[in-house]
Amino acid sequence: MHTVTHEELLRRAENLRLPTRHHIGGRDESGSGAAFAVVAPRDGQLLTHVADAREAEVDLAVAAARRAFDSGPWPRMAPADRGRTLLRIADLLEERREQLALTISLEMGKPITEAHDIELRAAINAFRWYGQLADKLTDESPHTAPDTLALVTREPAGVVGAVVPWNFPLTLAGWKVAPALAAGCAVVLKPSESSPLSALLLGRIATDAGLPPGVLNVVTGDGPTAGRTIGLHPDVDVLAFTGSTAVGRHFLRHAADSNLKRVWLELGGKSPNIILPDAPDLEKAAATAAWGIFFNQGEMCTAPSRLLVHSSIAEQVTDAVVRRARELRVGDPLDPATQMGALVSQAHLDRVHGHIVTGQAEGARLRTGGERTLTATGGSFLQPTVFDHVGPGMRLAREEIFGPVLSVLTFDDLDEAVRLANATEYGLAAGLWTSDLSTAHRISRALKAGTVWVNCYEEGDLTVPFGGMKQSGNGRDKSVHALEKYTELKTTWIQL
């Protein structure tokens, strides 16, 4: 996308054909006729109206998935055949990469370059990796007495309800759908009502790749109706959710009130990023801190939103972060030169800006940003924002903001750094910058986080698991470990 001009991308976006109907049983379905508006955060203009799932549409999708699992070919295929279908999905995602990137940029405000180069790369890699993994899994035969044979087999868990958010609509869908399909499950995918379009395209691409009808169904609708119905549905065996901690609690209640389905949650974060005086490169540490909080408009559960800096270097590091924040180019997501796009909606912009107002009222010092910008466009744009003099009891330091707002806190020794880092209900990710190997090991072990990055941030690939501790959730996406969510262990004991 780097070689395509802004004007050309605007033209292509104007001619983009956007999906509007559910994808159920391998076909597009209008359902009851109810629809909701999808608005572009870049200018506040209507993109299209999309089918709004009521209970009847969710029931139809779950029934299609149930048939596909109970009597269809997918769970009974040789794993290598399932893998080849996933590889075809990856190939079609690659072929339609530009269309998908434009759709994501339009629906949730992500810069087009990041949508094309990062989001689509991650989604394609997910289907390709699990496609290659599908026939390489093995069962167990424990050593038992000579006159017995014990077999431990992994079997697909059944119908999976996957509910994913708007900030990485295809990446997070891929992290759930691809391993569930590789395991032999059938899936009902519900994207956020803020970003339904790319998920609908994924459903059609999966069907075009040869996925049997009903194995992947996509229903679009809101959480209180469509999401709740999936959570309570007695024919959904597993629920995989990425989103807020508050909604995660609802899904746990839905499971308790229905069939005790297994619920896997990847929830919020308030990730600390600790910079010690012996960091190998303070300028790189500051640059990475700035990139991490402003990437994807700060709309990331792993965003390093708490920068914990040793007091001896706090001024130097904070000045460097502020300088980079001021240099960042905020603009139209469809402009390849844009570095930070629009927040997903005006309502979300209002919430984020409310945190900024509260931070100032509580006594934190606003170093840069803090105001809405590009208001004449009608879009939901915010300046990159940095606060220092943040106290650990302030809301800026405790609550997930989910926007481009950085809070800088200082510490004087390692014990204080660890205490500050762990002083949160969340435990998703953390960063640490040091040249001392022993310090790196000791602090990473002490941090209550599912991922700790040392002298980097947001690095990794499909080979490593991703997920959180404490109120950041349970279970893991990515890696072989993701299959644990979508399989059941069965023991068969044979007396010889």
Could you tell me which residues are beta bridge partners of residue 238? 160, 262
Helix (H, G, I), strand (E, B) or coil at 356: helix
Q: Do residues 480 and 182 make contact, with C-beta atoms less than 8 angstroms apart?
A: no
Rounded CA-CA distance 398/18 in Å is: 39
Q: Do residues 233 and 258 make contact, with C-beta atoms less than 8 angstroms apart?
A: yes
Q: Which of 301, 400, 458, 484 is catalytic?
A: 301
Rounded CA-CA distance 231/32 in Å is: 21
Rounded CA-CA distance 99/92 in Å is: 11
DSSP states of 360-417? HHTT-EEEE--SEE-GGGTS-EE--EEEES--TTSHHHHS---SSEEEEEEESSHHHH
Q: Do residues 241 and 265 make contact, with C-beta atoms less than 8 angstroms apart?
A: yes
DSSP states of 466-491? B--EETTBSS-BSTGGGGGGSEEEEE
Rounded CA-CA distance 389/386 in Å is: 10
Rounded CA-CA distance 262/90 in Å is: 28
| DSSP annotation of 424 | S
Respond yes or no: is residue 456 known to be catalytic.
Answer: no
Q: How many residues does the chain have?
A: 496
What does residue 409 show for φ and ψ, rounded to 5 degrees? -120, 155
| DSSP annotation of 160 | E
Rounded CA-CA distance 325/290 in Å is: 7
Tokens of 66: 């149930």
Tokens of 95: 């072929």
Q: Do residues 126 and 171 make contact, with C-beta atoms less than 8 angstroms apart?
A: yes
H or E segment at 449?
none
H or E segment at 84?
helix 79-95
Respond yes or no: is residue 185 known to be catalytic.
Answer: no
Q: Which of 57, 114, 193, 266 is catalytic?
A: 266
Active site residues: 266, 301
